[in-house]
Chains A and B, each alone.
Chain A
Amino acid sequence: MSAQRSTKLRLLALAAVALIASLALVACGGDGGGLSGSSNENATTAEGGEASGSLKISNWPLYIDNKTIKEFQKETGIKTTYTEDINDNNEFFGKVQAQLSQGESGGRDIMIVTDWMAEKMWNLGYVQKIDHAYLETVFDNMLPSLKDPAFDPGREYSVPWQSGMTGLVVREDLAPDVKSINDLFDPKYKGKVTMLAEMRDTVPLVMAADGVDPTEATTEDWMNAIDKLQKNVSNGQIRRFTGNDFVQDMIKGDVVAAIGWSGDTVQVETDNPNIKYVQPAEGCSLWSDNMLIPVGAPNSPAAYEFMNYVYEPENQAQITEYVNYVSPVKGVKEVLIKQDPEIANNQLIFPSDEFTENCFTQISPPGDEAEQKEVEQAFQNVVTG
């Protein structure tokens, strides 16, 4: 009996020691408050110069062909580590925020995020300015329409990687009359419609369908559009919120019309001619993913070198041919028209001005961080209803 009790006592003591040790650890670790009030006021400019050494790039999956990196290494002698570790802007932000707030990039020299996230990171002081003097090829070859975006006038810190359109994707054989976002709410297609789980893709299009100009929308407009989505979730109109997997549902015909991305549609069209991207009557949402040089990037000269390299039309053509998104580089069409005329004449890869006439640049909800978060949460509550 007494032996048993002393065992119990010892176990208790062990537990107490464990708890105290963990408390001590917390005390040593500080409160983890992070840097508050960091901003871009004293943003540094990424240094240029002779490029050598090694380069580390973070990008999204399937966003480059498999030759470009090898050829870049061969041509420049810069040892390049290319990682596909970005699946979602928010998720990536959560992953790197702690390091960036301490002025460390985690070894990354280039990271690629969507417009609104680029702006957010810039506002927090996580991104360096770029020196146009070292980016001659980039600015010589960049499409004029991309040179002065609202979120980064004059391209002070961002260089587009690829652009794309968010619009309607339709099974032409099963839903031939879907021409506008409002057609997605037609009871005829109940349970056969999906939308994207990314708020900035879906909500502005729904607003535009109701006659609200997304670029001027108030928080209330956003909330109204989210309410409309909630109603269509409750009555079973919307089947799911998806990522790139909207394509699979569509191939099988479970879904006949969706809000989706242009690039994914191009990739699937060749095998499934019935699946078509349709430019919504109310316009599409235009966005870019951008190369940024984070604070603490170990080798910014090499980052400049890489940016210039992918802005050479010949090199860019190789990427475009593989990823099928809208290229930000002039002259790529001319290169491809000889090699691959089908791609060169595709409106989704080289859209004409008429094709994107009604389109607007993708935007975030208005207001400060807290207001934006509220809208994001409201949308998430619809998605995880």
Chain B
Amino acid sequence: MTFRQRLTPYGLLAPGLVWLFIFFVIPMYFMAELSLKTGSLETGYQLTWAWNNYTDAISQYSTQFWRAFYYSAIASFLCLLIGYPLAYAIAFKAGRWKNLMLFAVVAPFFTTYLIRTIAWKTILDDSSPLVSFLKTIHVVPADGRVLATSAAVIAGLTYNFLPFMVLPLFAALERLDRRLLEAGNDLYASTAQTFWRVTLPLTMPGIVAGVLLTFIPAAGDYVNAIFLGGTSQAMIGNVIQSKYLVVNDYPEAAALSFTLMAIILVALIVYIKFAGAEALMGEDEEAR
């Protein structure tokens, strides 16, 4: 390898690294520092290594933390439940409709996130046909409601993040070598067995990626809780938003953000350990 050849990868990496450094590392550093300060917006913040910002954040808002993870876990699970058959159908059964169906999955992105969420207020409002139907079949009690409850927030999260589940699943399913399925049949596996023992394991990377892409943004979301939630559906994102923009308590807000990030990071590491790193990265190294 010549010197120049050895330098090439760095040259290619450089723009990305510089970008990450300026727009990720530096802001993160400032936020970390801010989270350890005390003071007020008017008098300025002093670095006092106020670790109690963190203990306060966790002890005071553990409910909202739990709620955020609980909601986003259910939403991710529902996305998987809805998304897998959908991605499967698009990849295997759609035929010439494939592109159109993929477009339909992405189409909601043509409208902004906010508008899409507000639209759900109409779908779920107390006198909407859907809610009346749910009342007739006694899923919702006669004097109950859907809007301004946990169910509405979870429904909103599920809807908003579904494409992030479907697309990686579709990519994984599309890539699947069909001959393996034929081989499964040839070896006397039923269709169900082939699915459980061939298709599902081989599309695991798609599932892992999909779950990450839905769970992480959903856990930090606050828009769905604002519009679709009521008074007891605030997620940790809502607390952070209120700390930043209403109370103007920046250190506490920064501490909350970091705590959220840390928890997600730990959850991520555990998840990847559990699911296997190959599942996320693909099993290229062994296979090729």
Contacts and interface: CB of A to CB of B under 8 A. Distances in A.
Contact of B44 (A18, A23, A32, A384): A32
A34 B44 contact: yes
Contacts of B231: 233, 238-241, 382-383, 385
A36 B38 CA distance: 13
Interface string B22-58: 0001100110010000001111111100000000000
B126 A253 contact: yes
A88 B247 CA distance: 12
A37 B44 CA distance: 10
B239 interface: yes
A196 to B, nearest CB: 13
Contact of A369 (B33, B42, B44, B238): B42
Contact of A384 (B40, B239, B248): B239
B120 interface: no
Interface residues of B, number: 39
B271 interface: no
Contact of B247 (A18, A34, A376, A385): A376
Contacts of B262: none
B79 interface: no
Range for the number of chain A residues in contact with chain B = 35 or more
Interface in A127-186: none
A384 B41 contact: no
A33 interface: yes
B42 A97 contact: yes
A124 B42 contact: yes
Nearest to A94: B248
Contacts of B44: 32-36
A253 B42 contact: no
Contact of A97 (B41, B122, B125, B127): B41
Interface in A46-97: 88, 90-91, 93-94, 97
Contact of B242 (A19, A35, A93, A384): A384
A252 B126 contact: yes
A377 B25 CA distance: 31
A210 interface: no
A33 B234 CA distance: 32
A16 interface: no
A124, A191, A241: which has the most chain B beta carbons within 10 Å?
A191
Contacts of A380: 242-243, 246-247
B1 to A, nearest CB: 9
Interface string A215-256: 000000000000000000110001111000000100011100
Nearest to B30: A26
Given A31-B46, A369-B42, A253 B127 contact: yes
Contacts of A377: 247, 249
Given A25-B26, A384-B234, A93 B248 contact: yes
A8 interface: no
Interface in B103-138: 121-122, 125-127
A254 B42 contact: no
Contacts of B246: 88, 90-91, 376, 380
A22 interface: yes
B127 A94 contact: no
B159 interface: no
A372 to B, nearest CB: 10
A26, A93, A240: which has the most chain B beta carbons within 10 Å?
A240
A93 to B, nearest CB: 7
27 contacts: A19-B25, A26-B30, A32-B44, A32-B45, A34-B43, A90-B246, A90-B248, A94-B41, A97-B41, A191-B145, A238-B231, A239-B230, A241-B231, A252-B127, A254-B125, A254-B147, A370-B40, A376-B247, A377-B247, A377-B249, A380-B243, A380-B247, A382-B231, A383-B234, A384-B64, A385-B232, A385-B234
Interface of B: 17, 21, 25-26, 29-30, 33, 40-47, 64, 121-122, 125-127, 145, 147-148, 229-232, 234, 238-239, 242-249
Listed from nearest, the 3 A-B pairs whose CB atoms lie closest are A34-B44, A384-B234, A33-B44
